[in-house]
């Protein structure tokens, strides 16, 4: 249990997210509220109340350690689910409070939820090599605005990263400073104003899926950087509708990780 004092008038959810930082995801906070695991001035609450100066908040929560458990573990390789409210580095800090010595093997954007791979010992350099050589297949589910011109496609374009603005631009042809990107997608479901896509990330560059789909006119719902903030408002989502839901490992017989060759790790129930 942790006890806090409100220093100003503020919504309970905002107050606790600020206090806990990456250790408390928004979904976990909502679960705490629903389960009445939070007291305000000694009374259990079940809704997101507004705090006033001086109110005491008691939270029956262990700092995020209990909700960190691997979905897959084998010979030094661990796969976890990262929530959409923290960076990969912040989540790594949380993981290492429970499982010491694990190294992050790749990254997801802050607001992209999904599978994140860690490794330790001899497995770590081997897994880094696999991601670098693109032998780990990465699959996503994305809800995009509108309907793509083709129900499935292999997109090949060129990406330029702007470090200062923390964003990228996609071009149809190669230009100075660009790198080639490849993104495959297929339609899963057509909805009223949106389309659910299964996406395979063939190359893995910063913001690739988000920028590539926006480039063809189908930005990801909730993505204000590459999408349309006015259109996003009517969908009332607080995060981009993108989840890294499946990984497939591919290793040669000579690899120390050959025992997980062809192994697939999948999130069975994806919220998107």
- 53 shares its domain with 145: no
**Looking at the domain assignment, is residue 264 inside a domain?**
no
**Looking at the domain assignment, is residue 83 inside a domain?**
no
**Looking at the domain assignment, is residue 55 inside a domain?**
yes
Q: What is the pLDDT of residues 123-145, one digit of tens each?
A: 999 999 999 999 999 999 999 99
What CATH number is given to the structural domain containing 213?
3.30.2350.10
User: Which residues does 53 contact at the CB level (< 8 Å), separation at least 6?
Assistant: 6, 7, 8, 9
- 143 shares its domain with 239: yes
The whole-number pLDDT of residue 67 equals 61
The whole-number pLDDT of residue 35 equals 81
The whole-number pLDDT of residue 69 equals 83
**Looking at the domain assignment, is residue 191 inside a domain?**
yes
109 is catalytic: yes
| H runs (alpha helix) in the chain | 12-20, 26-34, 88-96, 123-132, 208-215, 229-233
Number of domains comprising the chain: 2
Task: Please tell me whether residue 91 adopts helix, strand or coil conformation.
Answer: helix
What CATH number is given to the structural domain containing 32?
3.10.290.10
**Looking at the domain assignment, is residue 145 inside a domain?**
yes
Task: Tell whether the model's pLDDT for residue 22 goes beyond 70.
Answer: no
Supply the pTM of this predicted model.
Answer: 0.77
**Looking at the domain assignment, is residue 174 inside a domain?**
yes
Q: What is the pLDDT of residues 216-272, one digit of tens each?
A: 999 999 999 999 999 999 998 878 999 999 999 999 999 999 999 999 999 987 877
The residue out of 19, 40, 59 marking a domain boundary is 59
Quick one: tokens of 159?
């990406």
120 CB-side CA count, 13 A: 13
The whole-number pLDDT of residue 31 equals 83
The residue out of 59, 83, 102 marking a domain boundary is 59
Q: Residue 74 to residues 9, 120, 139, 192, 222: CA-CA distances in angstroms? A: 48, 11, 21, 42, 35
**Looking at the domain assignment, is residue 121 inside a domain?**
no
**Looking at the domain assignment, is residue 147 inside a domain?**
yes
Q: What is the pLDDT of residues 68-121, one digit of tens each?
A: 789 999 999 999 999 887 889 989 988 998 899 999 999 999 889 999 999 999
Which domain range does residue 205 map to?
139-243
Given the residues 37, 62, 109, 223, the one annotated as active site = 109
Quick one: tokens of 234?
């009517």
């Amino acid at each position: 249990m942790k006890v806090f004092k409100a220093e100003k008038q503020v919504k309970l959810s905002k107050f606790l997210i600020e206090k806990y930082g990456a250790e408390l995801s928004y979904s976990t906070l909502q679960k705490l509220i629903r389960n009445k695991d939070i007291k305000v001035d000694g009374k259990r609450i079940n809704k997101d109340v507004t705090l006033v100066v001086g109110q005491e908040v008691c939270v029956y929560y262990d700092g995020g350690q209990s909700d960190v458990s691997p979905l897959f573990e084998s010979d030094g390789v661990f796969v976890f689910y990262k929530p959409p409210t923290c960076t990969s580095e912040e989540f790594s800090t949380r993981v290492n409070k429970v499982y010491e010595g694990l190294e992050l093997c790749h990254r997801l954007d802050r607001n992209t939820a999904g599978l994140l791979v860690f490794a330790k010992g001899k497995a770590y350099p081997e897994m880094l090599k696999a991601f670098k050589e693109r032998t780990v297949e990465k699959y996503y589910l994305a809800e995009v605005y509108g309907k793509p011109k083709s129900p499935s496609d292999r997109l090949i374009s060129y990406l330029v990263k702007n470090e200062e603005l923390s964003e990228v631009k996609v071009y149809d042809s190669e230009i100075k400073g660009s790198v080639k990107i490849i993104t495959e997608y297929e339609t899963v479901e057509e909805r009223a104003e949106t389309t659910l896509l299964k996406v395979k990330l063939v190359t893995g560059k910063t913001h690739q899926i988000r920028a590539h789909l926006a480039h063809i006119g189908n930005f990801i719902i909730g993505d204000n950087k590459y999408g349309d903030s006015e259109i996003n408002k009517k969908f009332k989502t607080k995060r981009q509708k993108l989840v890294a839901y499946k990984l497939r490992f591919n290793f040669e017989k000579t690899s120390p990780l050959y025992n997980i060759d062809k192994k697939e790790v999948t999130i069975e129930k994806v919220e998107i």
